[in-house]
Chain A
């Protein structure tokens, strides 16, 4: 895993800068962002690529599980994708009629109502006062520059930035962001230059307004924190979002 530089793009479930074994807090925030802005259309992939991707996901999952146990998160979801995903790849049917299972999670699968998702996080976090999750839906409005009307999504139906990204992509799939992040693209890791290119280009960037009324880049904070603090989403043009990145990092430095 280290050779591919993937640890930079991993999502960690711990709080930023706390308990994480990444050295650089700024990189920790940035890597989440990279992962989430991959709104490229996920086309069906040939079996070999799918198997390769599955392998990468398995390695990533193992590293993540290791990180999770390092942070001592006892209730964290323990993935063993090495077992399940590889099984799936092995059983990829020779029948060409069978649809290739896309690697990303499908929307609404498994079929569990949103009130039943995230029971894990509720138990872990205990009761918050006021608007506690406890399985309640977290609808936020999604606006997209250029789209004629708003949409609404329930953040609690997604378990990760990847899932949200997939759903947003489905909603707005005519807009893509370049091949940045996402393990199936085989990226070598990201750097400031690439980020700048992205933001200054005509691609779109997901941003959100948090509880304090600030506009942040999606992916800056761990998923659970994001769900709790996100008030609304806005997919804005990359060029407009340029000013956000440094501000977002600054905010995190101050408050985290």
Chain B
């Protein structure tokens, strides 16, 4: 189905049919005969490039490959060209197509490509042949077969599966998002495929084996928040993908039955490898360190290495000696394996860091011994990214490190840093763009070590802040308002006040005004997570001012269905809405009817929905898949109550791999 594509206009035609001499065809005739696809109602095709900041390295732009959005029109483009293929339009002008394709090669952004594909049939075909990366934000929105039929020359596929609340145990095990049908379809269609990126999908060892087998030019595998595979699958990838450049395993759940552990690191090619990035800190089982050291030694292109916590500082030193050119380094445990008193000295470790002149990103520190922290001082000044979010360090331990990091742009840390530590960040890191403060004790009644004081300090010192995720127990409207004014470049604002329904702790007011100020003043905001005590007023603000918001997360908030109505009616760019434990009923749900096709999905759990409301939606919206998910296996008297609703636009119709606890309406 796919043929190697050449962009040169002098190459042989890559379509099976047309003769060398182009059919006489004027431009007028061409455009007259290529009607623009009438199926693409405005509702179906609105897309935007999206910066998904859930996990650090994944920058995924967004695309919706559906050719027929809202109206159910079944126009199928003829991708084969027209040699006797039908009298509805003239065979394509080969030269013109080639020129068009050459030009379209320069279009990389999915949004631009989608727009180009709508111009006319000729452009649709040309775009379909030249698109190199396919992004599918919801793997159930389109069937693999359909995607493979449309696009001729893909080199890279990005797929996302489960809704984000799956990360918080809200989606039962076995829900779906299996990559198998995709691999099965992509294999024959794209033998030159180089890159696969998956997020929140279930990937088995067999899937990995099939990937390794199907794509001889495979270069890059990135699995984020996936599950279902083990070291067995990793071994196959290591062994068979001889041109592998990137193997990034990020926050996956890797099955680790002890008796089935495989020494996958040893399976990489014995000659020099092309590896540029090897990230496996989430693979929590022990591995063969000597094999890793040898692998690093024969991987001259390696720039990013993130090891798991089974690596001591002594071993780190050996790795750094082998790979002085590293730019991104995940440091494992950052602790000595020797008895206290023995082991590596801080000075020796510091020497190693000093020799690694290219390091700009540090992470790991999974079981850090604070005595070793000064070893990283030699690289602090150059660091642009520092991830201490697994290191339980006090403010006193962190401050000396922070004070050296004058060029930091990304900082992830636990709330043990305290307001005081955040003050140090504010004083030092004037270039900071992204801050994430995670809770050491992620429970509702924990103390919480950071507060409005820290947030205010950050807002005063880090004026260029673009993205913030902040877990706390005490917050004030004043601090949030201050941040909205001090940090006008905010694109992502996620504030999680962990105790439910907490008001401003000083004034006792709801947090409406704070979040209202954020949407009002941060004109670039595209992602918002709200928390604390919130009334409908907060959502009135969000609807009124949040015109660029694409992702909105709501928990334990709002008083009535008006909140939902404000959101649907006001947030015209809304793509993803996730709601939990809020008093919204069928009425609120139905207020979104006219907007669901513009969105990728809506998730609602533990609200006040009933089967009747959900069925209403399903009946009125043919291109929506409406899933009701139960936690228990048998029906009870409570069958009318809907605990979990997940609805999404789809060209593929209801899926056929749903487990028994999912009802497709």
Interface residues of A (CB under 8 A from B): 61, 77-81, 84-85, 87-88, 91, 93, 95, 97-99, 101, 105-117, 119-120, 122-123, 126-127, 129-132, 134-137, 139, 147-149, 151-154, 157, 159, 167, 170-174
Residues of B within 8 A of A (CB): 165, 167-170, 172-174, 225, 251, 253-254, 256, 258, 282, 284-286, 308-310, 333, 335, 366-367, 389-390, 392, 414, 438-447, 471, 473, 496, 498-503, 508, 533, 553, 555-556, 559-560, 580-583, 606, 631-634, 636, 660
Instruction: List B contacts of A120 (CB < 8 A).
Output: 392, 440-441
Report Cα–Cα, A80/B443, bound state, in Å: 12
Known: A87-B502, A88-B500, A151-B173. A119 touches B440 (CB 8 A): yes
Contact: B560 with A91, CB < 8 Å? Answer: no
A171 to B471, CA, bound (A): 28
Partner of B258, one of A97, A130, A172: A130
CA distance A114 to B171 in the complex (A): 13
User: Chain A contacts of B508 at CB under 8 A?
Assistant: 91
**What would 28 A/B residue contacts be, using CB atoms closer than 8 Å?**
A77-B446, A85-B445, A88-B501, A91-B508, A98-B583, A99-B583, A107-B168, A109-B168, A109-B500, A109-B555, A109-B556, A109-B580, A110-B471, A111-B168, A111-B555, A113-B168, A115-B251, A116-B389, A127-B310, A131-B284, A139-B253, A147-B633, A154-B253, A159-B442, A167-B169, A170-B632, A171-B172, A173-B632
Bound complex: CA A131 to CA B287 (Å): 11
Given A110-B498, A115-B282, A116-B389: A84 and B632 within 8 A (CB)? no
Within the assembled complex, what's the spacing in Å between the Cα atoms of A114 and B253?
A: 10
- Minimum CB–CB distance from A152 to chain B (whole Å) comes to 4
State which of A122, A149, A159 has its C-beta within 8 Å of the C-beta of B633: A149
Given the known inter-chain contacts A81-B445, A107-B168, A131-B258, please indicate yes or no for A97 contacting B559, CB distance below 8 A.
yes
Q: B309, A134: Cβ atoms under 8 Å? A: yes
Bound CA–CA A85/B502 (angstroms): 10
Task: Verify B473–A84 contact, CB threshold 8 A.
Answer: yes
Q: Which residues of A contact B660 (CB under 8 A)?
A: 148-149
Is there an interface contact between A107 and B392, defined as CB atoms closer than 8 Å? no
Q: Are B447 and A110 in touch, CB under 8 angstroms?
A: no
- Bound-complex Cα distance A97 to B581 (A): 13
A167 to chain B, nearest CB (A): 7
Instruction: For B367, give its contact among A105, A123, A149 (CB under 8 Å).
Output: A123
Taking a contact as CB atoms under 8 Å apart, the answer to whether B258 and A88 are in contact is no
Out of A97, A110, A139, A172, name the residue touching B439 (CB < 8 Å). Answer: A110
- A117's partner among B285, B442, B533 (CB-CB below 8 A) is B442
- Chain A residues positioned under 8 Å from B170 (CB to CB): 107-108
| CB <8 Å contact, B559 and A134 | no
Q: Which residues of B have CB within 8 Å of A132?
A: 284, 309-310
Complex interface: chain A residues within 8 A of B310 (CB): 127, 132
Asked if A106 meets B169 with Cβ closer than 8 Å, knowing A130-B286, A131-B256, A136-B284, the reply is no
Beyond A95-B559, A111-B167, A119-B440: 5 further Cβ-contacts under 8 Å? Answer: A132-B309, A139-B173, A139-B253, A147-B633, A172-B633
With both beta carbons as reference points, the residue of chain A lying nearest to B414 in the complex is identified as: A119
A84–B439 contact, CB under 8 A? Answer: no
Give Cα distance in the complex from A114 to B225, angstroms: 11
CA separation between A134 and B283, bound complex, in Å? 11
Closest B residue to A123 by beta carbon equals: B392
> Which of B333, B390, B631, B632 contacts A119, CB < 8 Å?
B390
CB neighbours (8 Å) of A131 from chain B are: 256, 258, 284-285
Indicate the member of A87, A99, A108, A110 with the most B CB atoms within 10 Å: A110
> Per a CB cutoff under 8 Å, which of A79, A97, A173 touches B560?
A97
Q: Which residues of B contact A110 (CB under 8 A)?
A: 439, 442-444, 471, 496, 498
Q: Which residues from B are CB-within-8-Å of A91?
A: 501-503, 508, 533
Contact (A84, B168) CB under 8 Å given A110-B498, A127-B333: no
Asked if A79 and B471 make an inter-chain contact with CB atoms under 8 angstroms apart, the answer reads no
Q: Assess A84 versus B445: contact at CB under 8 Å? Given A91-B503, A170-B631.
A: yes
* Whole-angstrom CA separation of A77 from B397 in the bound complex: 20
Task: Compute how far the CA of A108 lies from the CA of B496 in the bound complex, rounded to whole angstroms.
Answer: 13
Assess the B559–A98 pair: CB atoms within 8 A: yes
Would A78 and B447 count as touching, CB distance under 8 A?
A: yes
Which 9 A-B pairs rank lowest in CB-CB distance, beginning with the nearest?
A108-B168, A136-B284, A112-B442, A152-B173, A110-B498, A134-B309, A81-B445, A84-B445, A123-B392
Report the bound CA distance from A151 to B168 in whole Å: 16
Q: How far is the CA of A85 from the CA of B333 in the complex (A)?
A: 36
Minimum C-beta distance from A131 to chain B (A): 6
C-alpha spacing A139/B227, complex, angstroms: 11
Q: Is the CB of A113 within 8 A of B167?
A: yes
CA distance A49 to B437 in the complex (A): 35
Task: Tell me the nearest residue of chain B to A77, going by C-beta.
Answer: B441
CB contact under 8 A between A105 and B438, given known A88-B502, A114-B169: no
Contact of B447 among A80, A123, A159 (CB under 8 A): A80
Partner of A148, one of B284, B471, B633: B633
| A101 to chain B: closest residue by CB | B500
- Determine whether the beta carbon of A151 is less than 8 Å from that of B496: no
CA distance A131 to B309 in the complex (A): 11
Q: Which single residue of chain B is at the shortest CB-CB distance from A107?
A: B169
